[in-house]
Structure 1
Amino acid sequence: MTSVAQRRFPVLAALAVLLGALFVLGVPAHAATSTSITVDGGGSGRVFDGIGAISGGGGNSRLLVDYPEPQRGQLLDYLFKPGYGASLQILKVEIGGDTNSTDGAEASHEHARGAIDCDQGYEWWLAEQAKSRNPAIKLSGLSWGAPGWVNPTANSFYTANSITYLLDWLGCAKQHNLSIDYLGGWNERYNGGDTTAKTWYENLRAALNRNGYGSTKVVAGDNGWAAADDMGADPAFRAAVDIVGVHYPCGYNSGFTSCGSIGSAQALGNPLWASENGSEDSNTGAPSVARALNRDYIDARMTSYLNWPIIAALYPNLYYATDGMSVANQPWSGHYDIGKTTWVTAQTTQFTRPGWHYLDSASGYLAGSGSYVSLKSTNNSDYSTVAETMDATAAQTAQFTVAGGLSTGVAHVWATNVRSDNPADWFVRQPDITPSGGHYTATLQPGYVYTFSTTTPAGPKGAATAPPAGSLALPYSDSLDTPAATTSPRYFADMNGAFARTGCAAGRSGSCVQQMAPATPVRWTDEPHNAPYTIMGDASWANYTVSTDALLRQAGTVEVLGRVMQQGQNNNGLDAYHLRVTDTGAWSIVRTDQKWTTTTLRSGAVNALGLNTWHTIALGMQGSTLTASVDGKVVGSATDATFTNGQAGFGVGGYQTDQFDNFAVAPGENAVAPSGAIASGLSGKCVNVGQTRLVNAADEGGPAQLYDCDGRAAQGWIWAGGTLTHNGMCLDVAGAGTANGTSVEVWECNGGANQQWQPQSDGTLRSVQSGRCLDDPNWSTTNGTQLTIYDCNGGANQKWNLPG
C-alpha cells in the first residue's frame, strides 16, 4: 500500500530514495564540508546506561490497556520488542499517588496505611508486558504524589511514611515477579540545600539495604543540577545517591540544540542521566529528540535519556495529547499512529545495549552542522556511530577510520529522513559499506539520522498497520459488572482521585465503581479545584444525556459531567458542564472553564438524598438546553451555548469514598456533531469544496474554500470518528504537511493523521497530525479563499460553527 505522499508526488519520492542512497556512494552534488571520525576501540568514555521512556507523570498510558488485540500487542511491540520499533531499554513508571500528575491521576497501591492492593492501576501490567518482550529491560520507579496518610499535615513527600510506602511498592513488584533496578524520590521537588530532602535520601538508601533491596540504585533528585551540587559538598548524601537524574538539561519544550556542560557534576564520577526529557509531539518533536540523544552525552556526558512520555495513549482534549513515541487515543476503534520519534529512537536503541561504552574521541559535532556519538560493544569488536544532521543546510561528508581492535568489516547503514512525513522514509536500510584498510567515507544529507554499525537489528522493522479511526457509537452504557482490563472501568481516565471497580455497598449486589482515596493526597500539581473526577468517551458527542446511579457515603457532593472538552495544563481548568447534587438535596448546573472559573447556570433543591441510599442523577444536553434530573424527575433546566460537544464522566466534590453504578450515555437528536454545513465564525461563509482535479483516475484534491452559504451540495459535510467527509472524501491537509500555510483539501480517506480533526471547546478544529488549526488565512471574507492550517490562536478566523 502506497502512502499519500507517494501517490501525490511519485517523482519526489523516487528522488528522495536516490538522495538517500547517494551518501553511501560518497557522491555529493558539490564540494561538501567534511568531518574526520576516528572510531578507536582503545579510547575512553562513560558506560552507556540505555535509552528509555516514562509511563506516568499523568496517565499518558491509560488507554493502551483498553485497546483490543491485535492492536494492543502491536503497540507494545513497537515500544519494547527488540529490533522492531523503539526497542526501549529502560521503562520508568509512576508510583501512583491518587493525585493528578499532569494529564491524569494514577492509582496508588496503598490508598490507606496498611491496605495494600498490588493490582491497582495499569503500570504493573505494562512492566510485565515490557519484560515479556525484552527480559533485559531495566525498570525504574518515581513518585509524583502520594496518598494523604504519607503526610497528613503538609504537602511534602519527604517523610518516614513515604519510605514505608516505597518499600510496600517494591513488595508489590516482587508479587509481580519484577525487579526494580532504579528508584527515585519526589518528582521535580528537590531544591538545593534542602536538608530534609538530603536526609530522606540517606534514610531511603539505608532502608533499601536493610530490606533486601541493596541492588536497587537510588536516583536523585529528578529536577535540575542541585542534587549534584549538594553531593559534591555532602559526603553522606553523595554516598546515598547512585545516579544524578536531571530533567530537561537541553531546555524545556525546545529544539534541544545545547545540553549544557556541568563540570562539577562530571567530577562526581556518578552516572548522569537525563531522567526526564522530551515533552515533544510524536512527529514534529522528532528533530529535538534526535539532537538530545546525541548532545546529552556530547555536552554533559549523560549516559541515559528517558523520554516523557512513553506514548500518548490518552484523550485528545488533554494538554499533552500528542507527546510520546506514538499516539493511541481510540481504543474502541483500535486506531493508532506510530510516531516519527519511534524511529529516531530506534536509530540508537537497535544498535546498542546498556553496558556498551561511549567513545569520547569519536563523539562530537559535525563540521557541516549536526552531531555524532560512537559506542563500542562489551565484546570490544562491534561498534555503532549515530549521526544527526537536523540543522544542516547542505550535504556533508564523514570520513571514518576504524582502529583499536574494532571490527573493520562491513558497516551496516540505516537512515531516517526526519524532514519527511512519509513513514516509508523512516528507519530505512541503506547499502552496506565495506571499509578499505579500516577507512570509509559517507555523505550525509541534511535532516537525517544515520547509524553506521557492525551490528544489525534483532528483527525486521515493525510493519503492523492500524485500522481506520471511528467514533464511539451511542448509546453507550456500562453496568460496571463486567471486569475490565484493569481495576478501572473500560475507557475511563481518572483526572484526580482513584476510581476502581469493587463490590457495591448499601445492599446492592454486583460491582460498582468507588472513589478509593479517602483523604487529600500529597499533591504534585497546584490546580485550585482538586476534587476527584473521571472522564471517558468521544469528543464528537454533542446532544446526549449522561446518567449514573450514585451513593453518597459521606456528606458531600456527587456529579455527572457532560460536553467535556479542553483541560488546562496540569488540570488547571476544564471546559465542561456539571450537574452537582449534595446529600442535602441541593443541586446545580454549572459551567467550568480552563481556569476552573465556575459559573452557576441554574440551581435548586430536592428532598435530601441522605447517605448510603442509591439515587440516579442525569444531565441532558440538547443544543443550548441543559436539563437536570434526579431519580427520573426533571428538576430544572438552563440555557447555555458555550460548549457544543464533548465527553462524559462523573466525580465527587472531595476525597470521599462514594460509589457509582450503571453509567449510561443516551443519544439525543443529532447526537454526533457536526453534520451539514461548516460556517466560519468570522465571515459566516461556509466551507465549500472547489473544483476537483483528476488524480489517479479519481476526483481528488478539491480545495477547501470559503464561499457564501447557499445550501449547495459542495457545502455538505459529515462528521465520523474524527474525520470530516464530503461525498465520501476526507478533509485532508495536503501532502500530509505540517507547516503553517499548508493547504487543506478533500482526498481519498486513508486513515492518516492529516485527515483527523479534533473539535476544540473554543470552536476551533485542530489537525491531529500537526496540532495546527483549520484557518481562514489573513482573516479573509472573499469567496474562493483557500483554507490552510496555522498555529492555533483562538481567533475568529479559526472558529467554525458546527451545527448539531
Structure 2
Amino acid sequence: MTTRRDGGASRRPTDPPPRRFRRWAAAAGLLLAAAGIQVVSPEPAQAATGITINGSSGGRTLDGVGAISGGGGNSRLLIDYPEPQRSDILDYLFKPGYGAAMQIMKTEIGGDTNSTSGAEPSHEHTRGAINCNRGYEWWLMGEAKARNPNIKLVGLAWGAPGWIGNNTFFTNDAIDYLVAWLGCATSHGLTIDYLGGWNEKGRDLTWYKNLRSALNSRGYAAVKIVASDDFGWGPADDAQRDPAFGNAIAVYGSHYVCGYRSAQSSCPSSTNAINSGKSLWASENGSDDYNAGANALARGINRGYIDGKMTGYLNWPVIAAITPNVPWSTTGLAVAQQPWSGNYSIGKNAWVMGQTTQFSAPGWKYLDSSSGYIGGNRNNGSFVSLKSPNNSNYSTVIETMDAGSAQDLQFNVTGGLSTGTVHVWSTNVRSNNQADFFVKRSDITPSNGSFSLTVQPGYVYSITTTTGQGKGTATSPAQRSLALPYTDTFDSYQTGREAKYLSDHQGSFEVVACGASRTGQCVRQMSEQAPIYWTDGHAEPFTLLGDLGWRDYTVSSDVMLEKSGYAQLIGRAGNYNHQGPQNLNGYYLRVADNGSWSIRSNNTSGNQRTLASGTTAALGTGRWHNVALTMSGSSLTATIDGTIVGRATDSAFSAGQIGYATGQGVTAQFDNLKIYSGSVPPDPTPTPSPSVSPSVPVSPSPSGPGGCTATYKVVSEWSGGFQSEITVTNASSGASTGWQAAFTLADGQQVSQSWNADVKQSGSTVTATNVSYNGTLAPGASATFGFLGSRTGNSTSAPTVSCTLS
C-alpha cells in the first residue's frame, strides 16, 4: 500500500467499498424505494491520476520567475522605508528560502517621463551629462543581489529624454544611451544579464542588429538581447525573413501571453517561436492585485511552459510602493504605501511565486513528459516538474485553481531522480488567512519510488527533494498618518538623489546644489525638453508628496525660475490618470517670471479652471521668491513673498497631497518646503537655528510715549521664529501697565496672537523679554514689531512703539 498524506484514511481511492457496505447499501436502497424516495446510486470512487516524474525526459532550461521594477515608479517609496521594515520587505521579495525569492528582476531604464505609476529619472537628462547615482533602481538591484547573488537582472526602457534621436527612439543615440546605462551598472558592481529595446512600442530590426554589434564591440558581448517586449510573437516571424536579426536576439519576450489581465488559463506562444531555438518569455504578465491576482499567477507560471514552452515569467510589478492615489496602487507581490509608518503587506502573489522559486533555480530543466494537466483536463489543474543540474533532485509544482473537488495523485519517480524523502509545501489561494500560505506539510516517504498525495481545490502545492525553504516571520507595524507640520530643507541629500517621499509623475525632480547664490541643496526640475513619451497623455512635469488625508493646510516653498515660464505649487492632490494631458485632481498656484499668477483647479479628465488670477511684481529668473498656497475649507489663498495676492473659493477637493510642478521644459529650483496646518506655521524646534543680529540702542520716538528704532536682520529662513530681547528706554512717564506685544505685516495686517513676550515697565523703561514669533520669516521680510499699551487714566490704546524687522 502506498503512503498518503491527506489527513484521511489510508485506503486507496481505487479500492472497492467493503462487501458488507455494498450489501447494506442495497438493502437500504430497497427500503427507500419502497417508501417512495428516489434512490441515486453513489458514483464509484475515482481512480487516482498517475503522474510519472521521469528524469530522462527532455525539456527546456528555466531562465527564471520574477517581477518588474518599473513601468514606472512603482518601487519609489521602498527606499524611504525605515529599518527594519525596509530590510524585511526586501527579504520577502528577494531572499531565498524566505518569501517570493525572485529569480529574475527587470528594471526600468528611467526616461524622465511617466510610464504608468510614475516617472523614473534618467541617467542622462541631457546629451553627455551622465550621472550614475540617480534614482533608486541601482539601490534596489544591489539589495536584490546582496540577498540572492544568482538573481538575473534585465534592463528595459519605457520612455527616454527628448534629446535622443531628436525625439526618435530607434536611433544610434538610443544605443549609446543604453550602453551608457550598462556602464553605470558596472560602476555599481552590477552585471546586467539581459537588455531590451523599447517597451511595447514595436521594433526596428536594423536597430536591434546594430545594438548587438555595439554591445559586442564595447565590452558587453555577454549581455543577451530580449525582443521585443511587445504583444505577440512577431519577432520570431521576422527572424524567419531576416536571419541576421534572429542571430542578434537571445530571447523572444511577449507581454500578456495568456491575455491581458486574464485568468491565465491558456498561455500559448507560436510554432515559429517554439522552433526558433530561442528562450521564450512571458516578459510582462499580471497587472493584478497583490492578493486577487494569485489565482491567475498560479495558472500562468505553470501554463506558460505547458502551453508555450516559456522559460521566463515576469509579473508586473514587483511591488506597489506608491501612495493610494497613484494608478495600480495595489498591484504586485506586496504593497508598501506608508514609509512614514513602516506599514506594508505581503500579498498572496508572493507566496504563489515562492511555490516555484523556492523549489527551483535558473539552470534547472523542465521535464516535458512530467508536466501537463491533471487527468488531461485544464479544469483539474496543472503541474510542471523540473530537475536540478545534479540530475537527482527534482520539484513538481501543482495548481488546482479551478478544481471542484479533491483529487488523488499517484506519483512514480524514475529516470535517475532521487527516490528519497519528499517534502510538501502548500498555499491555499482561496483563503485570506496568512496561516494558510506557504505551509510546510508532513513529509512523504516513497515506496520503491512511488507515493500518493491528495490535492485540494484552489491550492498550489510544491513537492520536492530539496530543503532550505521557509516562510518569513517579520510583521508590519500599523498604519498611521503623516503628521503636520512637515518640513524639508533638502540639505541632507546627496546630489542626484530624490528627496524623501517626493515621487515624480512626469519630468524629474532631483536634488542639486542651489543656484542664485544660495548655499545648500535644492530640488530642481531636470527635464529641459519634452521627453520621448511612453503614455498617450503628455502631462507637464510634476511630483507629489504626503498624505491623502491632509485637509486644511498651507504649503510654502521658495521657488527660483531658471528660465522664462512658470512653476507651480500643488495642494490637495488626489487621484490622477496617467493617460491624461493634465491629469491630476488638485489645486495649483502658478507663478510666472513676468509676475502673472493664478489659482487653478484641475481634474483627471484634464478640465482645468482658473479660479483667480492677476499680476504682481515680476519674479524674473535667477531670483528666489517665497510662494505659498493656503487651503481652509473652500477658501484658497495665494501668497507671494509674504503678500497675499489673491483668494478664491472652490469646494471640488477637500484633501490631498502637495506637489511641485513646472511648465514643459522649464527648469526651476525649489527649497525650504513647509506644510503646516492653518494659515500660520506651528512652533517646532527651529531648523536651522535662527540668526538675528544683536539689538542696537534705542531712542525715543517723536510720535509716541516712547519708541525705538532698533533693526533686527534675519540672515536665514526658519520655522518657529526666534527668541530675543528688546528694551525701550525713555518711554513717556505717562505710560503705564497694560503693554502688549504686537506684530504688523507689511500689508498692514496685525497678527499679535503670533507673538509672545514678557512686557514690563519700570519708570520710563519698558522691557520686552522672551520675545518669540511663532511663524516663518524669509530673509528680507518686512515687518514691524512693537508694543501696544495704554496711558494712565485713559483706556484708549496708545500709539505703537515699534522696532522694524528688515
Report the TM range for the smaller structure's normalisation. Answer: 0.7 to 0.9
Q: Which residue of 1 aligns with 2:667?
A: 657
1:429 is the counterpart of 2:440:
yes
Q: Say yes or no: does 1:47 pair with 2:61.
A: yes
Secondary structure of 1:333 counterpart: coil
What secondary structure, in the 3-state scheme, does the structure 2 residue paired with 1:451 have? Answer: strand
Contact 1:21/1:430 (8 A) holds in 2: no
Instruction: Give 1:569 deviation, angstroms.
Output: 3.8
Structure 2 segments unaligned to the other structure (5+ residues):
15-42, 682-806
CA distance, structure 2, for counterparts of residue 299 and residue 505 of structure 1: 59
Q: 2: CA distance between counterparts of 1:584 and 1:669?
A: 27
- Picking from 527, 540, 543, the partner of 1:531 is 540
Residue 421 and residue 622 in structure 1: after superposition, are their counterparts in 2 closer, same or farther (change >3 A)?
Answer: same
SS in 2 for 1:253: coil
Equivalent of residue 505 in structure 1, options 506, 515, 537 = 515
| 1:432 counterpart SS class | coil
Q: CA deviation at 1:485?
A: 11
Asked if the contact 2:572/2:656 (under 8 Å) is kept, the reply is: yes
The alignment status of 1:181 with 2:200, answered yes or no, reads no
Matched residue, 2:226: 219
Aligned residue in 2 for 1:522: 532
- Cα distance between partner residues in 2 of 1:433 and 1:643: 60
Matched, 1:562 2:559: no
CA distance in 2, matches of 1:479, 1:100: 26
SS at 1:206 equivalent: helix
Over 3 Å counting, the alpha-carbon distance change for 1:117 and 1:23 in structure 2 is farther
- C-alpha separation between the residues in 1 aligned to 2:9 and 2:71? 41
| Letter paired with 1:350 | Q
Q: Is the 8 A contact 2:5 2:444 kept in 1?
A: no
1:451-504 Cα shifts (integer Å, max 9, x gaps): 01001235x320000111110000111111112797000000000111111110
Report deviation, 1:307: 0.9
For 1:83, what is the secondary structure of its paired residue? coil
Distance 2:169 2:11 in 1: 58
Shift of 1:516: 1.3
CA shift digits 1:569-601 (9 cap, x unpaired): 446521111111111111111111112221111
2:222 corresponds to 1:171: no
Alignment of 1:381 onto 2:397: no
> How far does residue 618 in structure 1 lie from its aligned partner after superposition?
1.2
The letter of the residue matching 1:379 is: N
Aligned pairs for 1:680-719 within 5 A: none
Shift in Å at residue 78 of structure 1?
0.5
Question: 5+ residue gaps in structure 1?
Answer: 1-17, 192-196, 672-804
Match of 2:327 in 1: 319
- Describe the shift of the 1:25–1:117 C-alpha distance in structure 2 as closer, same or farther (beyond 3 A): farther
Counterparts of 2:212 and 2:601 in 1: how far apart (Å)? 48
Give 1 or 2 for the bigger CA radius of gyration: 2
Give the Cα–Cα distance (whole angstroms) in 2 for the partners of residues 280 and 52 of structure 1.
15
- Shifted more, 516-525 versus 268-277: the winner is 516-525
**After superposition, where does 1:296-335 map in structure 2 within 5 Å?**
296-335=304-343
Q: 1:241 to 1:478 in 2, by over 3 A?
A: same
Q: Tell me the distance in 1 between the aligned counterparts of 2:528 and 2:618.
A: 23
- Determine if contact 1:100/1:571 at 8 Å carries over to the other structure: no
Whether 1:476 and 2:483 are equivalent positions in the alignment is no
Contact 2:529 2:665 in 1 (8 A): yes
The answer for the alignment partner of 2:638 in structure 1 is 628
Inter-CA distance 486–291: structure 2 relative to 1 (3 Å threshold)? farther
Other-structure match for 1:256: 264
The runs of 4+ residues in structure 1 deviating greater than 4 Å are 18-30
Tell me if structure 2 keeps the 8 A contact 1:543–1:670: no
Residue in structure 1 matching 2:253, options 238, 245, 248: 245
Q: Rate the CA distance shift 1:37–1:338 in 2: closer, same or farther, 3 A.
A: same
* Partner secondary structure for residue 273 of structure 1: strand
Equivalent residue letter for 2:183: G
- Partner of 2:512, secondary structure, is strand
- Candidates 461, 480, 485, aligned match of 1:450: 461
State the shift of 1:253 in Å. Answer: 1.3
* Aligned-partner residue type, residue 564 of structure 1: A
1:420 paired with 2:431, answer yes
AA aligned opposite 2:84: P
What SS is found at the alignment partner of 2:107? strand
Under a length normalisation based on structure 1, what TM-score does the superposition of the two structures give? 0.78
Give 2:206's aligned amino acid.
Answer: T
Q: Matched residues in 1 for 2:662 and 2:13: separation?
A: 67
Cα drift, residue 22 of structure 1: 4.9
Query: How many Å separate the matches in 2 of 1:123 and 1:261?
Result: 31
* Counterparts in 2 of 1:283 and 1:606: CA distance versus 1, 3 Å: same
CA separation of 1:404 and 1:165: change in aligned 2, threshold 3 A: same
Post-superposition offset of 1:34: 3.7
What residue identity is the alignment partner of 1:175?
S
Residue 260 of structure 1: how far off its partner (Å): 2.0
Across the two proteins, how many residue pairs are aligned to each other?
645
Does the alignment pair 1:575 with 2:591?
A: no
Alignment of 1:793-804 (within 5 A): none
Residues 539/300 of structure 1: CA separation in 2 closer, same or farther (3 Å cut): same
Tell me the equivalent position of 2:382.
371
| Residue identity opposite 2:244 in structure 1 | A
SS of the residue corresponding to residue 433 of structure 1 reads coil
Question: Partner of 1:148: helix, strand, or coil?
Answer: coil
Deviation at 1:54, TM superposition (A): 0.7
Q: How does 1:454-465 map to 2 (within 5 A)?
A: 454-458=465-469, 460-465=470-475
Q: CA deviation at 1:669?
A: 8.6
Corresponding residue of 1:122:
136
With normalisation by structure 2, the TM-score equals 0.78
Counterpart-to-counterpart distance in 2, 1:20 and 1:38? 20
Deviates more, 1:431-440 or 1:27-36: 27-36
1:31 Cα deviation (Å)? Answer: 3.2
Task: Determine if the alignment matches structure 1 residue 541 to structure 2 residue 572.
Answer: no
Change (3 A) 1:533 1:662: same
> How far is the alpha carbon of 1:320 from its aligned partner?
0.3
1:248-293 alpha-carbon deviations (Å, 9 max, x no partner) = 1011112111112411210111000011111011111111111101
- Measured in 1, the distance between the counterparts of 2:431 and 2:12 equals 22
Report the residue type matching 1:127 in the other structure.
Answer: M
Please give the per-residue CA displacement for 1:620-657, whole angstroms capped at 9, x wherever unaligned: 11111111111111111111111111111111111222
* Distance (Å, rounded) in 1 between the aligned partners of 2:664 and 2:348: 41
Q: CA contact under 8 A between 1:26 and 1:441: conserved in structure 2? A: no
Q: 1:467 maps to what in 2?
A: 477
Contact 2:5-2:453 within 8 A present in 1 as well: no
Q: Distance in 2 between matches of 1:478 and 1:208?
A: 43
- Find the partner of 2:403 among 386, 392, 398: 392
Give, as a single letter, the amino acid of the residue that structure 1 aligns with 2:525.
Q
* Compared CA separation, residues 359 and 486, structure 1 to 2 (3 A): farther
Using CA pairs under 8 Å that are at least 6 residues apart, name the structure with larger relative contact order, 1 or 2. Answer: 1
CA–CA distance in structure 1, aligned partners of residues 10 and 69 of structure 2: 38
Distance in 2 (CA, whole Å) between partners of 1:533 and 1:284 is 31
Q: SS of the residue aligned with 1:517?
A: coil
Post-superposition offset of 1:522: 1.1
- Kept after mapping to 2: 8 A contact 1:578/1:590: yes
The superposition leaves residues 82-127 of structure 1 with CA deviations (integer Å, 9 ceiling, x where unpaired) of 1011100111110111111111000011111111100000000011
Matched, 1:138 2:152: yes
Tell me the residue number matched to 1:752. none
Decide whether aligned partners of structure 1 residues 93 and 506 sit closer, same or farther in structure 2, where only a CA change above 3 A counts: same
Percentage identity across paired residues of the two chains: 54
CA distance in 1, matches of 2:468, 2:304: 24
Cα distance, 1:590–1:20 mapped onto 2, change above 3 Å? farther
Instruction: Please give the alpha-carbon distance, in whole angstroms, between the structure 2 residues aligned to 1:533 and 1:478.
Output: 18
Letter of the 2:290 partner, please give it. Answer: S
Structure 2 match to 1:614: 624
Deviation at 1:606, TM superposition (A): 1.0
